[in-house]
Amino acid sequence: VARTSVVSKAALRVSADGIVSIVHHGEEYWVISGHRPPYFAADGDGGGENIGTLGSTDADKMCVGTSPFAGKMSPGQFVCRGTYRFGLDNDGDLTLWNEIRPGELVLSWAAGIPPSERNVAELRPDGNFVVYRNDLGSAPRTSLWSSNTMQIFRDEDPAPAFFLRLAADGTVDIAADDTAGIAPSASNATVWELPKSVCKAATAAPKGDRHIYPVDGTPVSNVAFSSCYVPTWQRGPELWQHLRDQFQPDLWLWLGDNAYSDGTDMQYKRNKYDQARNDAYYAEYGPVAMGIPVTGTWDDHDWGSDNIGGSYRCKLGSQNEFVHHFSVPKSDPRHPDQGAAQQRGIYSASMFQDPLTSAPGIHVVNLDARFHRDPTYPEVGTCRGAASDLLGEAQWTWLEEELQKTAEILVVTSGIQVLPPTNQYDGGLDEYCSYDGPGNTFDRSVRQLGETSAWKGGDDNWLESWGEFPQARARLLRLVQKYMNRGRFKQVVFLAGNQHWGEIMAKKMPTDDDLGPERIFYEVTASGIENWRDHPWRNSNRVRLRSADMQGDALFHNECKFPFAFRGTTYDDCTTEDHPGGSSEGRAWCALTTTLDSDPYKWGFCLEEHEELVARDRQTATGTTCSDDYHHTCDVRAVYGGIRVDWQARTMTLNVFLKEKKNKKVRLASSVEVDIDAPHVRTKAPSATAEPSAGPTPAHACENASAELTAGPWENYWDDRGVVFDVTVLAQDADVHVHGLDLHLKGSVDTTIVVYTRPGNHVGYETSYSGWTPVGTYSVISNDSEALTTFDFGDKVVKIMAGTTQAFYVLQTNDDNILYGRKGATVQDTNIQISKATVIEGNEVPFLGTPYYGYSFSGGVRYKRCSRSTPAPTRSKAPSPPSPPPTKNRCKKDLALSTGFDGTSQELSGYGILFDVTVKKKTDVRIEGFRINADYLETHILDVYTRPGTHLGFENSSAGWESLGRYYLRGGGAGAPTELLLDRKIILDAGARQAFYIVQLNGDGVFWYPSNGKKIGDVAEKGKFLSLRVGTAKQGWCCPPFLEQNVKGTVFSGTILHSKCKAYIPCVDDPAWRWKGAESDTCQSWLTKKNKKKNCKKWDKDGRLVKNYCVQTCDHCGATRCSDEDTFYYNDIKKEKNSCKKFVTDSKKCEKIDDLGRVVKEFCRKKCKFCEEIAV
């Protein structure tokens, strides 16, 4: 023990005969607050020397003995003050503890205070000190105050008000301090045997009925169980009556908190056990009355106190009371009659028979997760890091021996849940004692089980489970998988209590090279007899009727809600109809709420049925209680569980029964049926027509080496839930394939990232799933904020063509640690540019957070440069059947329709401009681009959108608009044109009307001018083939596209670049045409007969001329294709007035059908403009 000066030190020493001494080394005394410390000790020769404190404050003084201090200390004895204890631990080693453990007492008073007014301070199990005014021998005590800290001083002096002395006979006395020396007075020399008073032994014998202890070889088919039992809270015998009359178990298992008997008084614990066993309802209807064996395990409240583990002082005393309660025989290693060989811990096992074959059927293994449990959190004890454990090595050795025994079904009981994942919902992993830093054994253990930080085991860290010890949890589950794959048992079920609710879980253990194939483990929690919680706790491993993700995030941890109503239709299963975000593209989805119309964001894609761990037809769910999950039973009066084995049918049914609060009725809440001989996880039967799936393959050659563009970390940055940004390919001669991202994340945590992408700009799409495609869900170990956290898209790439833009939506689902810059800056290299970012705040569900604009992405985009793939021109109408591309001469003669620009005062600059163009009849037009009057001599970032028809009514909505790309142009200033050539040309049909929207993303420099009296929609400028109409300007710059303020009646200031195009008629057969509807009679199959030439001139039952639809097979692609048939006469009356030239006087005549069944326009093609209908 040393202070800051290396001169003064104090050493602790235990001699060979057990004498403890504290020896001072150095020349100077330590001084605290002007006082010489009152602490003295003697070395082995009995000479007293001065010692000091451990720290610099009064609260840190070391609690040691006082002179003379030469007595022997027995193991477990100590002297203490404040938060320090020093003495011999249970192994006899000299130890200094920086804590007081729950249930221990600290005594204090000043000189002259009579014993009746002395203070007793106790550290309660909840971590608070309570100070009582009374002595140890009186009860009840009067509480003076409580706190989570305790410093007791004299009123007139900051020096300590007392010290403790360990006498040679092992007793402790208390004396006031005296700066002149140590001199106990008669008024404060009362002797207390403090170490001997911590654990109080039971003196009265157990009372009442005794449980029946199980015997190996007993036939068992039905097993029932529960936990968290408070007999005095029961309001009737209904649960026990249902158990006896309806379920009729062969065995009862208690899963912990079998009696609430917190504390160190073993007589109190014995009384509570007696009360539980002798309860009138339990005695009349329960396991003793039924004459069935009872076994199980314990949890914190029947072991020691709330959440306590191996630090509990009265271990063997508590174990002995458990042994008495469960009628454990004297020959059992747990029994106190075993003396020094008594097993440390109440773990046990029993083997029960299959009643049909008398072979081993159900093997019950009861784990003890308390006796050897290490601290979970630093505030409850000294952490052991990666070595943190629940069982202790002796129990692990015993468990592996038990797992090598052969049975049909393995049942493992644990006071706390096993299958819920390690809860990382709120981050803060360093709160776990077992956490040993990112990427080490904590994280590896989670991933070994096929889980990541995206898996939830609750909403906080205040309910205990094996998930708090991922290394131990992985060890347990992998050990079970190992022996299951060695054929020791066919199914495994974990049973747990503690939670005050019921639930059924299923977990897939992944295939492992060492352990063998994947397996399904089950768990049933049954907790709370008249003792409940109303908390809808999340659990990713809970059984679900159908599992769904959240809007395509590929995390199938959500429960589909059936039936659900949507747009007037009710669904009782997943559907492939359109979902609220748009087209389902054939993927099955469901609602996560029964009222999807009023909450349209709560939907997700369904997990394929063959991937569900439990098929829906093997489940029963009678309705949820306080939870959103069908197999989570909470906020009910009582819960018990059952395993019913049908040895003849070879099935096992897991059940949860509930007792309702109002009418006290006991009924089935949920159940799951399992085939005992089921081999592994459910598999999908191969389809004879299914094509092998192929991962994404590059469409063109890419460079081998990856490039990376990194933004940030910025000088000033914030952190939040998500970030959305765009990547634009600046290179005109290459495409880009993005294969990964890097993020700056705050802190070092295991985090889950979801990534979506969509073509074009992200702005305006931050709160809508429409158009976004999931890239994937990634679990990454984050570095600190100064280092990039890297993750790859795996077998996926996001392909971005030259000159185009792709948006990315990145969301952290388990925290808000994504860093972003405040600057609102863009970054670029020679290939790509990363845009300004939109920050997503406040929601882990994609597209439900609040967007904030104008920030900077802080991270990196990893990509490869690839050979260019040029997109074909885009038409505004729906695509026609496949056809050869138009000839290069189809569109020719570059044209320009200009509104003029001269930088006059009439022209105004704004955020953007919306306008319509109309094409004159008889001529198609291709829009090549624009010349824009841009205000500033700087780079302008422009997005161009288009939609068929008019922009009117769609100024503030992105619905129906199509992006034509993002462009980076150097502005020429007022009066100088800036040319914007579209990467994707758009062809407009003769007579069509098309809307355009040109918007600037980094300023308000797009020019427009007032219409000078013309109304919106009027023609502003006319050209030979094209007209520009008065439009709507967007003023200012503060918002995403479509959301800025409208200025109606304005004219685009610039030029529309366009070309005149001939109508193109593809020379291909119509793939949908069939002769008289016969499926086999296509153009090619039907016209291969000898009379092909004759058949081409026939017409079908609808009056359609065959060669008009089988143009390629009938060689009908020449000039005659659009001309009139000279041989056609209406009704076949060969008179001039019935010819095409004379008969077709208006469009109505074209639709007529003559007496021969012929449609006129099929033959009078030129007069009826038949070719214009099929031109593209």
1046 versus 456: the higher-pLDDT residue is 1046
DSSP structure string for 553-584 = -S---EE--SSEEETTEEESS-B-S-BTTB--
Q: What is residue 901's predicted lDDT score, i.e. its pLDDT?
A: 59
Residue 906, phi then psi, degrees to nearest 5: -70, -25
- What is the DSSP secondary-structure string of 296-358? EE--HHHHSSTT--TT-S-HHHHHHHHHHHTT--TTSTTSGGGGGG--SS--EEEEEE-TTT-
Contact 374, 309 (CB under 8 A): yes
The C-alpha atoms of residue 1028 and residue 1013 are separated, in whole angstroms, by: 16
pLDDT at 927: 93
Average pLDDT of the chain? Answer: 78
Under the banding of pLDDT at 50, 70 and 90, the label for residue 350 is very high
Q: Is residue 36 scored above 70 in pLDDT?
A: no
State the pLDDT confidence band at 164, using cuts at 50, 70 and 90. very low
Residues 6+ apart with CB under 8 A from 67: 40, 41, 42, 48, 182
Cα(277)–Cα(262) distance, integer angstroms: 17
Kindly report the CA angle at 541 between 540 and 542, in degrees rounded to 5?
A: 95
CATH number attached to the domain at 874-1061: 2.60.120.820
1053 SS3 class: coil
* Range picked from 217-226, 446-455, 596-605, 676-685 for highest mean pLDDT: 217-226
For residue 973, the model assigns a pLDDT of 64
Tokens 């014995």: give the residue: 270
Closest CA to 549 of 762, 776, 724: 776
pLDDT at 705: 76
Residue 890 phi, psi (nearest 5): -65, -50
Average pLDDT over residues 462-489: 94
Residue 1151 pLDDT: 92
> Does residue 872 or residue 747 have the better pLDDT?
747
Domain spans of the chain, in order of start: 9-197, 222-526, 544-612, 707-867, 874-1061, 1075-1174
Among 395-399, 813-817, 859-863, 1059-1063, the range with the most confident prediction by mean pLDDT is: 395-399
pLDDT digits (tens, 9 = 90+) for 902-929: 555 467 778 889 999 999 877 889 999 9
The reported pLDDT for the residue numbered 1139 is: 94
* pLDDT tens-digit readout, 1025-1050: 999 999 998 886 555 678 778 888 88
**Predicted local distance difference test score (pLDDT) of residue 466:** 96
- Residue 1080 has a pLDDT of 83
| pLDDT above 90 (res 91) | no
The better pLDDT of the pair 53, 126 is held by 126
% of the chain with per-residue pLDDT over 90: 41
pLDDT at residue number 106: 43
* pLDDT tens digits, one per residue of 591-635: 999 889 888 888 999 999 999 999 999 999 886 678 888 999 988
From residue 1084, alpha-carbon distances to 385, 882, 1104 in Å are 75, 16, 17
Q: Is the pLDDT of residue 211 over 90?
A: yes
Helix axis angle for 470-484 and 441-448, nearest 10°, is: 40
* Residue 908: per-residue pLDDT: 78
Side chain identity at 240, as an amino acid letter? W
Q: Is the dihedral of CA 201, 206, 211, 217 positive or negative?
A: positive
* Count of other CB atoms within 10 angstroms of residue 1168: 21
Q: How far apart are CA 456 and CA 538, in angstroms?
A: 6
Asked whether the predicted pLDDT for residue 140 surpasses 80, the reply is no
CA distances from 888 to 885, 928, 1061 (A): 9, 15, 10
When comparing pLDDT for 122 and 820, which is higher?
820
Based on the number of CB atoms within 10 Å of its own CB, is 754 exposed (0-12), middle (13-18) or buried (19 or more)? buried
**Smallest Cα–Cα separation from 839: which of 860, 859, 853, 824?**
853
According to the model, what pLDDT value does residue 785 have? 63
- Which residue in this structure is represented by tokens 């998930």? 467
pLDDT score of 784 more than 50 = yes
Q: At what angle do helices 470-484 and 393-403 cross, to 10 degrees?
A: 20
User: Across residues 1101-1115, what is the average pLDDT?
Assistant: 89
Angle, CA 953 vertex, CA 950 and CA 954 arms, to 5°: 80
Q: What pLDDT is recorded for position 224?
A: 98
Q: What pLDDT is stored for residue 779 in this prediction?
A: 81
Q: Which fold has domain 707-867?
A: Jelly Rolls (2.60.120)
Instruction: Tokens 């590896």: give the residue.
Output: 444
Amino acid type, 865: R
Q: Are the beta carbons of 62 and 9 closer than 8 angstroms? A: no
The CA-based diameter of the chain, rounded to the nearest angstrom, is: 145
pLDDT higher than 80, residue 134? no
Reported as half-sphere exposure (CB side, CA atoms, 13 A), residue 836 has a value of 18
Task: Give the contacts of 6 (CB within 8 A, at least 6 positions apart).
Answer: none
Q: How far apart are CA 216 and CA 360, in angstroms?
A: 9
Q: 3-state class of 1034 per DSSP?
A: strand
Q: How many angstroms from the chain centroid is the CA of residue 110?
A: 57
In this predicted structure, which of 516-530, 984-998, 1056-1070 has the lowest mean pLDDT?
Answer: 1056-1070
Q: How far apart are CA 650 and CA 672, in angstroms?
A: 14
Is the torsion defined by CA of 479, 480, 482, 486 positive or negative? positive
Of 165 and 29, the structure prediction assigns the larger pLDDT to 165
What's the pTM value of the predicted model, to 2 decimals? Answer: 0.60
* CA distances to 619, 673, 791, 859 from 711, in Å: 51, 54, 16, 5
Lowest mean pLDDT among 358-372, 473-487, 984-998: 984-998
Residue 537: the pLDDT is 84
pLDDT exceeds 90 at position 825: no
CA Rg, the chain, in Å? Answer: 41
Q: Annotate 580-598 with b (16+ C-beta within 10 A) or e (fewer).
A: bbeebeeebbbbbbeebee
Looking at the chain, how many residues does it have?
A: 1176
Whose CA is closest to 327, among 358, 295, 283? 295
- Averaged pLDDT for residues 1137-1164: 93
Q: How confident is the model at residue 995 (pLDDT cuts 50, 70, 90)?
A: very high
User: How many H helices and E strands in the chain?
Assistant: 14, 64
Q: How many CA atoms lie within 13 A of 667 on its CB side?
A: 13
Cα 96 to Cα 114: distance, rounded to the nearest angstrom:
32
Q: Give the span between the Cα atoms of 377 and 414, in whole angstroms.
A: 20
Residue 718 pLDDT grade (very low, low, confident, very high; cuts 50, 70, 90)? confident
Look at the alpha carbons of 73, 74, 77, 78 in this order and tell me if their dihedral is positive or negative.
positive
Cβ atoms 737, 798 nearer than 8 A:
yes
- 1063 — pLDDT class (breaks 50, 70, 90): low
For the stretch 4-23, pLDDT in tens is 233 333 444 444 444 444 44
Whether omega for the bond prior to residue 948 falls within 30 degrees of 0, making it cis, is no
Structure tokens at 787: 């280092």
- Domain 544-612: CATH architecture, name and number where available: Ribbon (2.10)
Mean predicted confidence (pLDDT) in 476-503: 96
Which pLDDT tens digit goes with each residue over 48-90? 222 222 222 232 233 333 322 233 444 444 444 333 444 444 4
Give pLDDT, residue 950. Answer: 93
pLDDT of amino acid 545: 94
**SS3 label, residue 547:** strand
pLDDT, greater one: 582 or 238: 238
Specify which of 78-92, 224-238, 369-383, 1002-1016 reaches the highest per-range mean pLDDT. 224-238
CATH topology of domain 222-526: Purple Acid Phosphatase; chain A, domain 2 (3.60.21)
> What is the structure's pLDDT at 1175?
54
pLDDT surpassing 50 at residue 692: no
- pLDDT > 70? residue 353: yes
Higher pLDDT, 1176 or 326: 326
- For strands 547-548 and 502-509, give the pairing: unpaired
Is there a common fold for 707-867 and 874-1061? yes
Across 481-495, 704-718, 852-866, least confident range:
704-718
Residue type, 742: D
Does the pLDDT of residue 783 top 90, yes or no?
A: no
